[in-house]
Chain A
């Protein structure tokens, strides 16, 4: 039989793809790891082509970012808003709603929080909780229109949420170059927040945003795995038609998940503004919206996995900033590497689900 196959010219042999029923977990892990390594190798090659000395790569990316306590803190610090947008993505995608408006919801969250500081609402001790509430409310409100339009009129949410992003960006620019611009600063930034308006440090440079992020991740985990709404969400994810036939309130479930998602994106906005920058800036949102979507995709909408993926992306963000400073490489490099990693991980999914087999004998 095999002799027969060997005699045939190469082009005449047929290969088919078979769908695997299952695969041992250690093979899955091996393929996943292999694809990540491939992705990192491709990214490394891109960096070398872009002008980073090859010898410095390991030093720059791995040692300085992960084995330096100060950088490690900044990775954790950077991770908290990314965990928020990642969880926001997971929630919306579980409801089969392509919420690409994370960026816009994040911007409005930060605008809401800054409005509290600009107008001095509430006593200093109540200021931060008010800002958090305002950020979540504004993020949520920015998600109301696309989800209602989708549920009532079947307006494609991919386009509507993206259009709302561009609108939000222009509102932000309007405020930053206009009414809210800090007169003491040449840049389009808002005035600095007061000390009681910042997310406090807990010592060791760790900010309050880290425990908040972990808490919210646990809350989302409870929501999707244990709560009744999470069960409904799984019904809706598998088949909205069957779900509505067995009496699951499909529209309400989608609405709730998407609004929750918007609120978390708003909170991410607050974490960047009140945690990292200490003020509202004209470009604080750059990179977060798409990162949230990619994190949710990498994590297959699982909150725990999303938290881990967010840590990985946060490492990239931190390393990307230092590349920007030391080698004048645009921050867009981070976007490119993220995209390469996602493509590689997605391709590992292909090898996990399929096997290539040569068909022997007849054609």
Chain B
């Protein structure tokens, strides 16, 4: 019982980074830009969050700085895919590589490694926090409560506002959108920058609020898992949120397993999230659900002069 209770308490901490990163990816990809750079932008968010906290000693400010930093770095990605029309897969990989180098270098040279930060005080969501077993799920730091709000606003913006609908039109059929007078590249730029801010927040959440310290390459593939999450959520934000909670449940189980004293090599436990991601991808592919919800123009650069 104690085990279930503490497991419940840990789930949001693991689920939130996946949820935010997946939402950021969905926003970018709805505009037709294949965003593989999530891992790198999360690393930027993580190092910027910790760096900003150690400099200014203000957690909310650190989170905002992390979002800004990720957005600024994403401009480089925008330059590659929108202006230089580079292959979007390669651009995403180069961005990850660039960010891994940049963050390790900055964090190490600035001496930010292993410097503990306090994070944020938890708030109990009364009366749900009094529930048996589930109660701990509702005693979280304030950012966790912000996540459903961010999702609601994003879904509303994507489905109900003119800019959101235009952005989706750009992702489905940029030629038609261009003919209708929508500035394709501006919308894609906005989608990349907004998506990057959310992904950066996901990285900062891991560093500033969850682990509460920074080490190099600390996201350890979570950005890639978020990419997989978007594929099996079929670009639907709510399904991505559900998937993120599912993954949060699995990741939160890992420290519990270690604590309960089950004899299993820790490295096999560490590889579980990746193996499960792979398993879920195979399961989704084998069950062949509605496979046409992918944005129509995903991964293809928009080149007006080559319009056919």
With A and B bound together, what is the CA distance between A162 and B271 in angstroms?
12
B interface size (C-beta, 8 A): 46
With both chains docked as a complex, state the minimum distance between the C-beta of A174 and any C-beta of chain B, in angstroms.
4
With A and B bound together, what is the CA distance between A349 and B278 in angstroms?
35
Encode contact with A along B272-289: 1 for CB under 8 Å, 0 otherwise.
Answer: 001101100110011000
Are A160 and B281 interface neighbours, CB within 8 A? yes
With A and B bound together, what is the CA distance between A156 and B282 in angstroms?
9
Are A163 and B224 interface neighbours, CB within 8 A? yes
With A and B bound together, what is the CA distance between A155 and B86 in angstroms?
24
- Known A158-B89, A160-B281, A329-B105: A177·B224 in contact at CB below 8 Å: no
| Closest A residue to B102 using CB positions | A336
Encode contact with A along B249-281: 1 for CB under 8 Å, 0 otherwise.
Answer: 000000000000000010110110011011001
A74-82, A240-248, A338-346: which lies at the interface: A338-346
Give residues of chain A (143-182) contacting chain B, Cβ–Cβ below 8 Å: 149, 153-156, 158-160, 162-164, 166-167, 170-171, 173-174, 177-178
- Known A158-B89, A159-B277: A330·B108 in contact at CB below 8 Å: yes
Are B101 and A336 interface neighbours, CB within 8 A? yes
Residues of B near A18 (CB, < 8 A) are 305
Encode contact with A along B228-254: 1 for CB under 8 Å, 0 otherwise.
Answer: 100100000000000000000000000
Are B105 and A50 interface neighbours, CB within 8 A? yes
With A and B bound together, what is the CA distance between A330 and B109 in angstroms?
8
Residues of A near B94 (CB, < 8 A) are 294, 339, 342-343, 346
Are A170 and B101 interface neighbours, CB within 8 A? no
Are B305 and A17 interface neighbours, CB within 8 A? yes
Tell me if B93 counts as interface (CB < 8 A to partner A): yes
A-B contacts at CB below 8 angstroms, number: 133
Residues of A near B268 (CB, < 8 A) are 170, 174
Are A335 and B281 interface neighbours, CB within 8 A? no
A interface size (C-beta, 8 A): 49
Residues of B near A159 (CB, < 8 A) are 224, 227-228, 231, 277-278, 281
Q: Which of B96, B98, B267, B277 contacts A171 (CB 8 A)?
A: B267
Tell me if B36 counts as interface (CB < 8 A to partner A): yes
Give residues of chain B (84-110) contacting chain A, Cβ–Cβ below 8 Å: 84-87, 89-90, 93-98, 100-102, 104-105, 108-109
Are B85 and A350 interface neighbours, CB within 8 A? yes
Tell me if B31 counts as interface (CB < 8 A to partner A): no
Are B271 and A155 interface neighbours, CB within 8 A? no
Tell me if A21 counts as interface (CB < 8 A to partner B): no
Tell me if A290 counts as interface (CB < 8 A to partner B): yes
**Interface residues of B, dominant DSSP:** helix
Are B216 and A19 interface neighbours, CB within 8 A? no
**Interface residues of A, dominant DSSP:** helix
With A and B bound together, what is the CA distance between A114 and B167 in angstroms?
53
Tell me if A100 counts as interface (CB < 8 A to partner B): yes
Are A330 and B224 interface neighbours, CB within 8 A? no
With both chains docked as a complex, state the minimum distance between the C-beta of A319 and any C-beta of chain B, in angstroms.
14
Are B277 and A153 interface neighbours, CB within 8 A? no
With A and B bound together, what is the CA distance between A343 and B293 in angstroms?
32
| Closest B residue to A290 using CB positions | B97
Are B84 and A332 interface neighbours, CB within 8 A? no
Are A336 and B277 interface neighbours, CB within 8 A? no
With A and B bound together, what is the CA distance between A257 and B116 in angstroms?
48
Are A153 and B278 interface neighbours, CB within 8 A? no
| Closest B residue to A173 using CB positions | B267
With both chains docked as a complex, state the minimum distance between the C-beta of B286 and any C-beta of chain A, in angstroms.
6
Are B274 and A149 interface neighbours, CB within 8 A? no
Residues of B near A318 (CB, < 8 A) are none
Residues of B near A349 (CB, < 8 A) are 84, 86
Tell me if B128 counts as interface (CB < 8 A to partner A): no
With A and B bound together, what is the CA distance between A158 and B224 in angstroms?
9
With both chains docked as a complex, state the minimum distance between the C-beta of B148 and any C-beta of chain A, in angstroms.
27
Are B274 and A155 interface neighbours, CB within 8 A? no
Are B278 and A333 interface neighbours, CB within 8 A? no
With A and B bound together, what is the CA distance between A51 and B110 in angstroms?
11
Interface centre among A100, A159, A164, A178 (most CB of B within 10 A): A159
Are A160 and B278 interface neighbours, CB within 8 A? yes
With A and B bound together, what is the CA distance between A297 and B100 in angstroms?
19
With A and B bound together, what is the CA distance between A290 and B275 in angstroms?
21
Are B277 and A330 interface neighbours, CB within 8 A? no
| Closest B residue to A331 using CB positions | B104
With A and B bound together, what is the CA distance between A329 and B108 in angstroms?
9
Are B271 and A343 interface neighbours, CB within 8 A? no
With A and B bound together, what is the CA distance between A173 and B271 in angstroms?
11
- Known A167-B274, A170-B267, A340-B98: A347·B84 in contact at CB below 8 Å: yes
Q: Which of A171, A329, A332, A343 contacts B76 (CB 8 A)?
A: A343
Give residues of chain B (45-92) contacting chain A, Cβ–Cβ below 8 Å: 76, 80, 83-87, 89-90
Residues of A near B80 (CB, < 8 A) are 343, 346
Tell me if B221 counts as interface (CB < 8 A to partner A): yes
Q: Which of A16, A153, A339, A346 contacts B84 (CB 8 A)?
A: A346
Tell me if B2 counts as interface (CB < 8 A to partner A): no
Interface residues of B (CB under 8 A from A): 36, 76, 80, 83-87, 89-90, 93-98, 100-102, 104-105, 108-109, 216, 220-221, 224, 227-228, 231, 265, 267-268, 270-271, 274-275, 277-278, 281-282, 285-286, 303, 305-306
> Nearest 8 CB-CB pairs, A to B?
A336-B101, A332-B104, A335-B101, A339-B98, A174-B267, A170-B271, A153-B285, A166-B274
13 A–B contacts from the bound complex (CB under 8 Å): A98-B89, A156-B228, A159-B224, A163-B274, A170-B270, A290-B93, A293-B90, A330-B105, A334-B101, A336-B98, A339-B95, A343-B76, A346-B86
